[in-house]
Amino acid sequence: MKGTLYGIGTGPGDPDLLTLKAINMIGGCDAIAVPDSGTENQIALGIVKEHIAGKPVLSLDLPMICDKLDLQKKRELAADAICEELDTGKSVGFLTLGDPMVYSTYSYLHRIIISRGYTAEVIPGVTSFCAAAAALGEPLCEGSQSLHIIPALYEDTEKALKLDGTKVLMKSGKKLTEIVELLGKKDISAKLAQRVGMNGERLYQSITTDVKTDYFSVVIV
């Protein structure tokens, strides 16, 4: 009998935001898988280290690159490694920061594994933008207000800022300087959370040009 793949959301960084279901699932899995993408890999493992209990860890080559063909090849190879474990009847827990279905590497693997006839389930996690809003004390949406989740690295930020309602700019670290300049030019107020729940957490109730860039940045407009 084949094993099951579980996509497990570990939350934004604070181990206290790891859900009970995630803890129980990690404890029940035979092996743990993580993307070998450097810092993010180590943070996810650090969040769950008390619950792994010596389980084997599969480090999968899933770099953050833009070449779509190369990315798909890497994902297929990563799926191969997971399927080898599933074929022996083992269950595998794939760790991902935040939620597995929000800008996550896991979502791509989920589709591949399912298409190959295996079983995969998702254990949701606290998203970084919800944790950021809580830390800043800033409601994301009220009443009939809309909420837009925008991947700032890939989208036209100036166009996105024209949307009604609250705009959450994720993947904004590399474009933070550009975003800050654009907000200042248009006299738009915004808040910023960096490394929420991690060491070095920084919260800005207003954004100025002297903010530090950081990969783990969430801007709320």
Q: What is the mean pLDDT of residues 55-72?
A: 86
For residues 47 and 32, the answer to whether their CB atoms sit within 8 Å is: no
Q: At what angle do helices 20-28 and 39-52 cross, to 10 degrees?
A: 80
Instruction: Report the alpha-carbon angle 157-160-165, nearest 5.
Output: 135
pLDDT value of position 218: 95
Among 65-69, 142-146, 159-163, name the one with the lowest average pLDDT. 65-69
Place of tokens 């191969």: 80
Q: What is the mean pLDDT of residues 130-150?
A: 96
CA pair distance 127, 101, nearest whole angstrom? 10
Where among 84, 99, 123 does a domain terminate? 123
For residues 206 and 136, the answer to whether their CB atoms sit within 8 Å is: no
Amino acid at residue number 121: E
Q: Residue 212 — pLDDT band, cuts 50, 70, 90?
A: confident
Neighbours of 39 (CB within 10 A): 9
CA pair distance 125, 94, nearest whole angstrom? 13
pLDDT value of position 175: 85
pLDDT tens digits for range 78-107: 999 999 999 999 999 999 999 999 999 999
Judgement on whether residues 143 and 206 belong to the same structural domain of the protein: yes
User: Is beta strand 119-123 parallel, antiparallel or unpaired with respect to 4-9?
Assistant: parallel
Q: Pick the residue with more confidence: 61 or 113?
A: 113
List CB contacts of 89: < 8 A, sequence separation 6 or more. 1, 2, 3
Give the structural domain span for 43.
4-123
Judgement on whether residues 103 and 173 belong to the same structural domain of the protein: no
Judgement on whether residues 12 and 42 belong to the same structural domain of the protein: yes
For residues 220 and 140, the answer to whether their CB atoms sit within 8 Å is: yes
Judgement on whether residues 146 and 92 belong to the same structural domain of the protein: no
Average predicted confidence (pLDDT) for the chain: 92
Judgement on whether residues 43 and 152 belong to the same structural domain of the protein: no
- Identify the bridge partners of residue 170 per DSSP, sorted by sequence position: 151
Judgement on whether residues 108 and 149 belong to the same structural domain of the protein: no
Domain count, the chain: 2
pLDDT value of position 39: 63
